[in-house]
Amino acid sequence: MHVKSRYSFHDDYSEGAHPNVIEALSRTNMSQQSGYGEDEYCDAARRAIRDMIGAAEATIYFTPGGTGANLVSIASHLRPHEAVISAESGHIVGKEGGAIEAIGHKVLTGPSVDGKLTPETVQSIFQGSSEFSYQPKARMVFVSNATEIGTVYTKRELMAVAAKCKELNLLLCLDGARIGAALASASIPASEDGMTLTDIYNLTDVFWIGGTKNGALLGEAVVIKDPAFAKDFPYHLKQRGQFLAKGRILGIQFKTLMQDDLFFRLARHANEVAAEMSIFLARLGYKLWAATESNQVFVTFPPALVQELLDDFDFFIWHHLPDGNLVARLVASWATDPLEAKRLCQVVEQWTTKHQGLAQLRFT
Amino acid sequence: MHVKSRYSFHDDYSEGAHPNVIEALSRTNMSQQSGYGEDEYCDAARRAIRDMIGAAEATIYFTPGGTGANLVSIASHLRPHEAVISAESGHIVGKEGGAIEAIGHKVLTGPSVDGKLTPETVQSIFQGSSEFSYQPKARMVFVSNATEIGTVYTKRELMAVAAKCKELNLLLCLDGARIGAALASASIPASEDGMTLTDIYNLTDVFWIGGTKNGALLGEAVVIKDPAFAKDFPYHLKQRGQFLAKGRILGIQFKTLMQDDLFFRLARHANEVAAEMSIFLARLGYKLWAATESNQVFVTFPPALVQELLDDFDFFIWHHLPDGNLVARLVASWATDPLEAKRLCQVVEQWTTKHQGLAQLRFT
Amino acid sequence: MHVKSRYSFHDDYSEGAHPNVIEALSRTNMSQQSGYGEDEYCDAARRAIRDMIGAAEATIYFTPGGTGANLVSIASHLRPHEAVISAESGHIVGKEGGAIEAIGHKVLTGPSVDGKLTPETVQSIFQGSSEFSYQPKARMVFVSNATEIGTVYTKRELMAVAAKCKELNLLLCLDGARIGAALASASIPASEDGMTLTDIYNLTDVFWIGGTKNGALLGEAVVIKDPAFAKDFPYHLKQRGQFLAKGRILGIQFKTLMQDDLFFRLARHANEVAAEMSIFLARLGYKLWAATESNQVFVTFPPALVQELLDDFDFFIWHHLPDGNLVARLVASWATDPLEAKRLCQVVEQWTTKHQGLAQLRFT
Amino acid sequence: MHVKSRYSFHDDYSEGAHPNVIEALSRTNMSQQSGYGEDEYCDAARRAIRDMIGAAEATIYFTPGGTGANLVSIASHLRPHEAVISAESGHIVGKEGGAIEAIGHKVLTGPSVDGKLTPETVQSIFQGSSEFSYQPKARMVFVSNATEIGTVYTKRELMAVAAKCKELNLLLCLDGARIGAALASASIPASEDGMTLTDIYNLTDVFWIGGTKNGALLGEAVVIKDPAFAKDFPYHLKQRGQFLAKGRILGIQFKTLMQDDLFFRLARHANEVAAEMSIFLARLGYKLWAATESNQVFVTFPPALVQELLDDFDFFIWHHLPDGNLVARLVASWATDPLEAKRLCQVVEQWTTKHQGLAQLRFT
């Protein structure tokens, strides 16, 4: 078996799927099933998700990936002249190749706070694009949870955005590529201000549960609330090339992930490994560029340290700071080996001791 | 394990993937790989396909499914005012939910001969939409091989269409959802008028190799000839939601299918089972609605026989004939059990003997 | 002033506007008005049209041309996956450069009867594209009155199409580029089976009144019934580049055309001139390729006669018949000089006498 | 004749057309012409424009309005995955109802300097959207001259932007809705750093000359440089509903405007009236929110003064300043009566004397 020379914290889709998922695909492989999501595994997965949400009426469809989940969710809920409100840092703004514009909709943007959209920003973007017919008509708000920088919406925060949407007659769409990590976030005790899938369902009009980044080979589960929009969803899926003939492989994966809380157990593992790295690196004096609330660590390193780390590890340079330092993104996933995380921390620690002076210099 | 009460000849995507494919997914599952098709398995699959084509310069990308392969191939090769020529029976006309129109292009149609497009039809459609600027400008010809009704282009036929395209400055796009079955067709001895992937590559501007219907869980391999169009293909994939984060799973599947001629061995199996059914049913006096040249049998049955068959088997009613008879589509795949095919034939034989009179009545 | 060497029956937009329209533009030229259709002339035009329709609640907007009127009417009433049903001969099929596909919608076509769509055709197209999600979902029916070949829907015919639309939950859109000629048609006594703008409004969901081809420099008036679709119409107009800053020029033209029945007086003139030509040419033994029910004459001429006519007159060769004869389209408009029509008839008569033999030969 | 109770400085499209234009429309009204821009007036207008540009090879087409000119220029020059770079304040960003997104392209934005795009901004936007295929591919730069706030590009400035485009392989598209005012700007002596249509043609890939806002009833002239893009332009016009049947009315207007320098004489008049207002109001101590370089004055007024002015005059409130003051936009056009401009200035002067104290208070 091939092993990468350097251990990767580059993203949460470097490995395949959780062994249970592979086993389920293998076990069910030869059974004959109807195509396009009308198989027994998709039915079972839908039941399992509805149970977790606690909404027997929820409509659920599966897409191969996240861009497709977003574009079909938006295409099916908007009319051609309607626009989407998003944070400038939103995934659909600069990370999906103009997929939303390609289906005809403008994305109206404003600044985010800790990667999140606030009711105030929604209000001001709405006011800037609602008075005249030469302004694209704001009709939907798009948020991701966890956000692009790994922060997590508290229940209070999402309730406030949802309330603003109701007030302004805006639909709320939630991108759940990392919803597992978000809902499993330890930074927000569920008891207090945390959320469950039920909260997400109640507060949004359409959202999706990300499988690709949390244990599946591929696949996202889109949950649609309004029957008027749910009715024709398969037409939209087909028209946009998001309807797999062997939908069974999406069904069996979600069925498996929903069993015995596997989906959230995997998310907690990822969050825990990220938290350990985050705490350790912070203790060494390295500034966190964003709060570590889910499975991603954004930490500020001097270039020399990054050079050293890149000998043994792979990760993404998220940002170049004016002061010359770099923001490294360290992503932990369900598959990340805690010992490799520890090893990375040790390399940083050794380097730091060795280059104390330099470090001091750079961080005062 | 679940087994369908009735054995299905409904389509060629009722089962999962060939065991070798599942094994390969399982074996490589935990290796860390780069995302979006930049992994070692996609590289290996590309090399294998280029070797089979015999074109080291060919550009190859993978999509999750066929609609995506078609819409990205067309979107990347056309300008907004350019239209696609297809047979009325073409897959993109009535089987993809308006996916081509959704990306802005008109599909100009004309009658097909045995499910195929002829140079004459291309010529007349072109003439009908090229003189004035109020006519969508014909710029591409779309064909499928095998066709929607399972017929196969001979080398002479495709060369004639390709020559007409050159003459009229039209691009040629070939949908290869069932290209395995087409190239493995026994009805056309390769020695004489059959084709290879090399022929397909030489005669077209863009085509794709269908994995979904020939042994893969999902995935099609798009082969692009002109570097000018190939260059930005990933942008198109991303923009249309056709770019899997774990591209590795497409790579490993194609790598496996291309090993030891597995891809064509599977296709030959499907064709052979279809041929056996076709020959047997024809001998019993049932009219074939289309020639059985690949893995699909289109046969004319009286309704009563269809009723009887549906107790034990699942298949698609393709067409209702004016005379009251039905056209049943019996699809064989890499996974079809020859004994089940034989069993279906026997049920037909028994019914026929029993209802000789009726049959006579209906078929004279 | 420039005068074309040859008198033109090529189309109904060869001249500018009726003198009253030019006078009104000139008279109101220096008054200051609000932009984008919020001026007093558009208001007055809306009132005048509502009065003619007898619907105080009707919403009316103006577009510069017919393609824009069609594409905005369709874009504003459909969701992305919904398709339009039209006759193969329909204007949006082959005469608008793929404008409907460019906004994402498939046009589903079927044969026409005398250029008209029948309930039977609507039914069969609908059945062919409604059962499965891989079929574009038929949601609207598109008709033109007068049709592309100048025929006119009787009240009974349009009621039948409208009833079928209601039955199948389809919207009905009527292209009125030549609605003046259609409603002024003498071939259908209004008393019996003719129609008025009121009938058109009652039977359709959206339709438009063509100014360009009936006395205006440019401009069409779109009449929208459902307030839900009417509400955001200006956004669609702006987004598609159909919203003139100086909307006043559309308002003043329609205000003028609606005064003292000018609009229909111009249409009657065009119809009368066409009728005279049609009757005369038929009496000479020339076959009418389509019934002359409005302002267009489609007549079958031998090539030699066409050659002769082209020395003095300009017209469009609509069709080449298998027998070698040509279908000439002679269009009369509000501006057509009856003496020129008479002159054309005389040239035909002289040629016919001179070439009796040949004519006989060709027409038996 | 109707006269608005209040004199309007609201925009430059409040009146109809220059009398010469009306006269020309009237004079040529009854001549028979070919449709869709193939008439003698469009030919003459093209010749006149090519002469002014000094480029016999330039391709020219006419559109009814500015949004259409922009969307067809962009649609014809870009492939679906390519994006447009514009200043945040650019017209296509928030003033055209999402027209560019409706044809599938993302608009990438950055801050402007005095309403203008700089090479530095182009560079940074480009860098932010060029490295990965998940980033819409920047391929065109969009500028307006004059800008949205009436400022004018110097030759040096536009040359710098054009050079950056060449460097980054970006096309340059210039929106000339107010190109007359820009090129007639007195703030930049042509002798030194001013520009002519020849400069604009040489520095851009496609640009358009605005008629609507400078003496025409409607119409813009799009000038295309690259024959490869020019070739199919009519198809794009037709497909987007931008192709007037009576193209003659666009031709005759531009022919008239280009005669005896009328186009620029009208622009100079507008600029002069704006300059007079600007100088007078500045002298009274009112801050100019933007430099008055063409026909628009953006001046800061206290709300009470705005109230007073609105009794006699109509104008647009462009912006609400944090300090409570308002930015009024006063637009002068070819039709603006200098005496009305003087009258407005007097009202401001009187109010200012009367409320000296208050004014002082507000403006220190």
- Chain C residues inside the 8 Å CB shell of B128: 94
Mutate to test the interface with A, among D70, D81, D106 (most CBs of A within 10 A): D106
Query: What's the mean pLDDT in D243-272?
Result: 98
According to the model, what pLDDT value does residue A188 have?
A: 76
Inter-chain Cβ pairs, chain B and chain C, closer than 8 A: 62
Beta strand spans in chain D (E): 7-8, 59-63, 82-87, 107-110, 137-144, 171-175, 206-210, 220-224, 288-290, 296-301, 313-314, 316-320, 326-331
Three-state SS string over chain B comes to CCCCCCEECCCCCCCCCCHHHHHHHHHHCCCCCCCCCCCHHHHHHHHHHHHHHCCCCCEEEEECCHHHHHHHHHHHHCCCCEEEEEECCCHHHHCCCCHHHHCCCCEEEECCECCECCHHHHHHHHHCCCCCCCCCEEEEEEEECCCCCCCCCCHHHHHHHHHHHHHHCCEEEEECCCHHHHHCCCCCCCCCCCCCHHHHHHHCCEEEEECCCCCCCCCEEEEECCHHHHCCHHHHHHHCCCCCCCCHHHHHHHHHHHHHHHHHHHHHHHHHHHHHHHHHHHHCCCCEEECCCCCEEEEEECHHHHHHHHHHEECEEEEECCCCCEEEEEECCCCCCHHHHHHHHHHHHHHHHHCHHHHHHHHC
Reported as a pLDDT band with limits 50, 70 and 90, residue C190 is: low
Average pLDDT score over residue span C179-200: 88
**What is the predicted pLDDT for the residue at D191?**
67
Residue B94 backbone phi and psi in degrees, to 5: -130, 10
Parallel, antiparallel, or unpaired for β D107-110 and D137-144? unpaired
Rounded to a whole number of angstroms, the distance from the CA of B67 to the nearest CA of chain C is 10
> pLDDT tens for residues B65-87?
999 999 999 999 999 999 999 99
- Tens of pLDDT, residue by residue over C139-189, are 999 999 999 999 999 999 999 999 999 999 999 999 999 999 999 998 876
DSSP helix/strand/coil, C106: coil
- Residue D190 pLDDT level (bands cut at 50, 70, 90): low
Instruction: List the one residue out of A94, A81, A86, A79 whose CA is nearest residue D99.
Output: A81
Of C40, C65, C335, the CB nearest to D2: C40
- Determine the distance in angstroms separating the CA of D98 from the nearest CA of chain B, rounded to an integer: 17
What is the Cα–Cα distance from A96 to D122, expressed in whole angstroms? 21
Condensed to tens digits (0 to 9), the pLDDT of residues D144-158 reads 999 999 999 999 999
Report chain C residues whose CB lies below 8 A from the CB of D241: 63-65, 67-68, 70-72, 96, 99, 240-242
Mutate one of B134, B240, B316, B318 to test the C interface: name it (highest C CB count within 10 A). Answer: B134
- Across chain B, mean pLDDT equals 95
Rounded average pLDDT over B18-32: 98
pLDDT value at position C357? 62
Would you say residue A274 has pLDDT above 80?
Answer: yes
A239 touches chain C (CB under 8 A): yes
- At residue B5, the pLDDT reads 77
Look at residue B357 and tell me whether its pLDDT is greater than 70: no
B65 touches chain C (CB under 8 A): no
Question: Is residue C4 predicted with pLDDT exceeding 60?
Answer: no
Question: In this complex, is the C-beta atom of C111 within 8 Å of any C-beta atom belonging to chain B?
Answer: no
Look at residue B34 and tell me whether its pLDDT is greater than 80. yes
Q: Is any Cβ of chain D less than 8 angstroms from the Cβ of C2? A: yes
Q: Does B322 touch chain C (CB under 8 A)?
A: no
B105 inside 8 A of chain C by CB:
yes
Q: Which residues contact B107 (CB under 8 A, 6 or more apart)?
A: B83, B84, B85, B86, B90, B92, B93, B100, B101, B142, C101
Would the CB atoms of B95 and C135 count as touching at under 8 Å? yes
Confirm or reject contact between A5 and chain D (CB < 8 A): no
Chain B residue with the nearest C-alpha to that of C82: B98
Instruction: Name the CATH topology of D19-259.
Output: Aspartate Aminotransferase; domain 2 (3.40.640)
Q: Does A80 touch chain C (CB under 8 A)?
A: yes
pLDDT tens digits for B341-353? 999 999 999 999 9
CATH code for the domain defined by C7-13+263-354: 3.90.1150.10
Strand pairing category for C137-144 and C82-87: parallel
**Topology match between the domains C7-13+263-354 and C19-259:** no
For B201-218, how does the pLDDT look when each residue is reduced to its tens digit (9 = 90+)?
999 999 999 999 999 999
Q: What residues of chain C lie within 8 A of the CB of D10, using their CB?
A: 34
D129 touches chain A (CB under 8 A): yes
pLDDT band at C356 (very low <50, low <70, confident <90, very high): confident
Whether B189 shows a pLDDT value over 80: the answer reads no
Q: Does A32 touch chain C (CB under 8 A)?
A: no
Measure CB to CB from residue C236 to each of A76, A80, A232 and give the nearest one.
A80
To the nearest whole Å, the CA of C121 is away from the closest chain B CA by 17
Q: Please check the confidence at residue D245 and state whether its pLDDT lies above 50.
A: yes
Cα four-point dihedral sign B64, B66, B68, B74: positive
d(CA A214, CA A218): 9
Whether A99 shows a pLDDT value over 60: the answer reads yes
Three-class DSSP category at D322: coil
Q: Compute the C-alpha angle D83/D84/D90, nearest 5°.
A: 145
Taking the CB of residue C346, how many other CB atoms lie within 10 A of it?
Answer: 11
pLDDT at A130: 82
Query: What type of residue sits at position A57?
Result: E
Runs of H (alpha helix) within D303-355: 303-312, 338-354
**Which positions in chain A touch B13 (Cβ < 8 Å)?**
35, 245-246
Q: Does B364 touch chain C (CB under 8 A)?
A: no
Q: For residue A194, what pLDDT is reported? A: 84
| pLDDT higher at B190 or B30 | B30
Do residues A82 and A105 make contact, with C-beta atoms less than 8 angstroms apart? Answer: yes
pLDDT for the residue D187: 84
pLDDT band of residue A20 (cuts 50, 70, 90) is very high
- Which residue is closest to D82 within chain A, CA to CA? A98
Site of tokens 């205000």: C255
Q: Taking CB atoms and an 8 Å cut-off, how many pairs form between chains A and D?
A: 62
pLDDT of A244 over the 50 cut = yes
**What are the tens digits of pLDDT across the range A124-143?**
999 998 889 999 999 999 99
pLDDT at B363 over 90: no
**Taking CA atoms, what residue in D is nearest to C99?**
D239
Q: Tell me the mean pLDDT in the region C295-316.
A: 98
> Would you list the domain boundaries of chain D?
7-13+263-354, 19-259
pLDDT in tens, C64-73: 999 999 999 9
Q: Does the ipTM exceed 0.90?
A: yes
Q: Is D238 on the interface with B (CB under 8 A)?
A: yes
- Report the C-alpha gap between C257 and B299 in whole angstroms: 62
Cα atoms in the 13 Å half-sphere on the side-chain side of B31:
18
pLDDT at D31: 98
* pLDDT above 80: residue D2: no
pLDDT for B190? 63
Could you tell me if C218 lies within 8 Å of chain D, comparing CB atoms?
yes
Q: Does A220 touch chain D (CB under 8 A)?
A: no
Supply φ then ψ for residue D351, to 5 degrees. -60, -40
> pLDDT confidence of B358, banded at 50, 70, 90?
low
Average pLDDT over residues A100-129: 97
Q: What's the CA gap between B72 and B102, in Å, rounded?
A: 12
- Find the mean pLDDT for residues B290-298: 98
Query: Min CA distance, C362 vs chain B (Å)?
Result: 27
Mean pLDDT value of segment D300-307: 97
Q: How far from the centroid of its chain's Cα atoms is residue C101's Cα? A: 21
Closest CB to A235: pick one of C76, C133, C236: C133
Partner residue facing D335 (CB), from C30, C99, C235? C30
Does C79 sit within 8 Å of A133, measured CB to CB?
Answer: no
Q: Residue A205: pLDDT above 80?
A: yes
Looking at residue B187, its pLDDT comes to 83
Give the mutation candidate from B106, B107, B319, B320 for the C interface (greatest C CB count, under 10 A): B106
Amino acid identity of residue C151, one-letter, is: T
pLDDT at B154 over 90: yes
| Token couple for D250 | 């666009």
Own/partner contacts of C307-313, CB < 8 Å, gap of 24 or more, are C308/C347, C308/C351, C309/C344, C309/C347, C309/C348, C309/C351, C310/C6, C311/C6, C312/C6, C312/C7, C312/C343, C312/C344, C312/C347, C313/C6, C313/C7, C313/C8, C313/C9, C313/C340, C313/C344, C313/C347
For the stretch C106-132, pLDDT in tens is 999 999 999 999 999 999 999 998 889
Residue D311 has pLDDT above 60, yes or no: yes
Q: Mean pLDDT across the stretch D281-293?
A: 97
What tens digit of pLDDT does each residue of B116-149 get?
999 999 999 999 988 899 999 999 999 999 999 9
Burial of C5 (0-12, 13-18, 19+ CB in 10 A): exposed
Please check the confidence at residue B150 and state whether its pLDDT lies above 70: yes
Task: Verify whether the Cβ–Cβ distance A97 to D136 is below 8 Å.
Answer: yes
The DSSP secondary structure of D162-207, one letter per residue, reads HHHHHHHT-EEEEE-TTHHHHHT-TTS-TTTT---HHHHHHH-SEE
**Res C2: pLDDT:** 42
Q: What sign has the CA pseudo-torsion C13, C19, C22, C24? A: negative
Place of tokens 């594209």: C129
Distance from CA of D242 to the nearest CA of C (A): 8
